[in-house]
């Protein structure tokens, strides 16, 4: 089954701007792909449609077995729990520890604290930051902060991992490290879609790449 399927999707923002037009693609379950294009091409808009932060103006967006048009506002938290999201600015909270930042999605979802603690430590271990759990994220380097953001995105074992410019602030070496992490999650079955305009990084990864130009999908290949 496709993890994500867009069928003739268009998104027109209020004001009349067409951010996406006639977008068709499917990402199979277990695939890892990049989404690229110039600034304003529609990458973030496409990710927002998957997360139900925006609704399409036309066409159909399907995530797993769900046609998102059939999900109401009440279903949105449950939908988001199936997805992990990594942002460029990782949105970490600097008034709490690394551990508490990663635990946040589990707290919101009502996990038992002991179970949550086990999962948080497993996630921090995967990104190589178990020793930093008690620190405040402000004490970490930007690469480490991004890894905390990744741990938080995968702590609830989502089937689908989305990333919006996850290496935007990182130097090439740290960016490679972040990509290796995404590859690790993909190897254990997570479907991964990464929006990025770092073309040299994308070329090195040799993965399927969807290219948007002016809101249209103009290329789809390796
Ligand atoms: N809420 C909104 N209302 C109106 N226009 C919007 C809104 N969000 C985005 N846009 C416009 O839609 C177009 C696509 O934006 P989007 O953020 O999806 O592009 P992007 O490819 O992610 O760009 P970047 O690489 O700069 O983040 C842009 O022209 C943007 O100005």
For the Cβ of 44 lying below 6 angstroms from any atom of ligand 1, the answer is yes
The residue to mutate among 10, 14, 44, 214, having the most atoms of ligand 1 within 8 angstroms of its beta carbon, is 44
Q: Give me the pLDDT at residue 1, please.
A: 80
Best residue for ligand 1 mutational test, from 40, 48, 194 (most atoms within 8 Å of Cβ): 40
| Atom nearest to 48 CA in ligand 1 | 18
- Check residue 169 and give its pLDDT: 75
The pLDDT of residue 90 is 73
Residues of the chain under the 50 pLDDT cut: none
Contact 160, 62 (CB under 8 A): no
User: Sheet holding 58-63: strands in order across?
Assistant: 17-28, 2-13, 58-63, 66-67
The 3-class SS string of 136-195 reads CHHHCCHHHHHHHHHHHHHCCCCCEEEEECCCCCCCHHHHHHHHHHHHHHHHCCCEEEEE
pLDDT in tens, 182-198: 999 999 999 999 999 99
What φ, ψ does residue 28 adopt, rounded to 5°?
-75, 155
In this structure, the chain runs to a length of: 222
* Of 50, 85, 53, residue with least CA distance to 68: 50
Q: What is the pLDDT of residue 109?
A: 87
Kindly write down the DSSP assignment for every residue of 9-57, as one continuous string: EEEEETTTEEEEEEEEEEEETT-EEEEEESTTSSHHHHHHHHHTSS--S
Q: Note the pLDDT tens digit of each residue in 31-41.
A: 999 999 999 99
Q: Which pLDDT belongs to residue 88?
A: 82
Ligand 1 pocket residue status of 39, Cβ below 6 Å: yes
């Amino acid at each position: 089954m496709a993890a994500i399927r867009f069928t003739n999707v268009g998104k027109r923002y209020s004001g009349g701007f067409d951010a996406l037009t006639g977008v068709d693609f499917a990402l199979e379950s277990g695939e890892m792909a990049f989404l690229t294009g110039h600034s304003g091409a529609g990458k973030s808009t496409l990710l927002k449609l998957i997360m139900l932060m925006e609704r399409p103006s036309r066409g159909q967006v399907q995530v797993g077995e769900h046609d998102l048009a059939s999900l109401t506002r009440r279903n949105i938290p449950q939908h988001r729990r199936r997805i992990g999201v990594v942002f460029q600015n990782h949105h970490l909270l600097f008034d709490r520890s690394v551990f508490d930042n990663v635990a946040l999605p589990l707290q919101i979802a009502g996990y038992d604290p002991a179970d949550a603690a086990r999962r948080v430590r497993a996630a921090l271990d995967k990104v190589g930051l178990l020793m930093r759990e008690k620190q405040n994220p402000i004490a970490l380097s930007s690469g480490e902060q991004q890894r905390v953001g990744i741990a938080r995105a995968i702590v609830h074992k989502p089937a689908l991992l989305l990333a919006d410019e996850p290496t935007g602030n990182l130097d090439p070496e740290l960016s490679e490290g972040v990509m290796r992490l995404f590859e690790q999650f993909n190897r254990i079955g997570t479907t991964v879609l990464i929006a990025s305009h770092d073309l040299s990084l994308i070329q090195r990864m040799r993965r399927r790449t969807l290219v948007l130009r002016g809101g249209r999908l103009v290329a789809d290949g390796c």
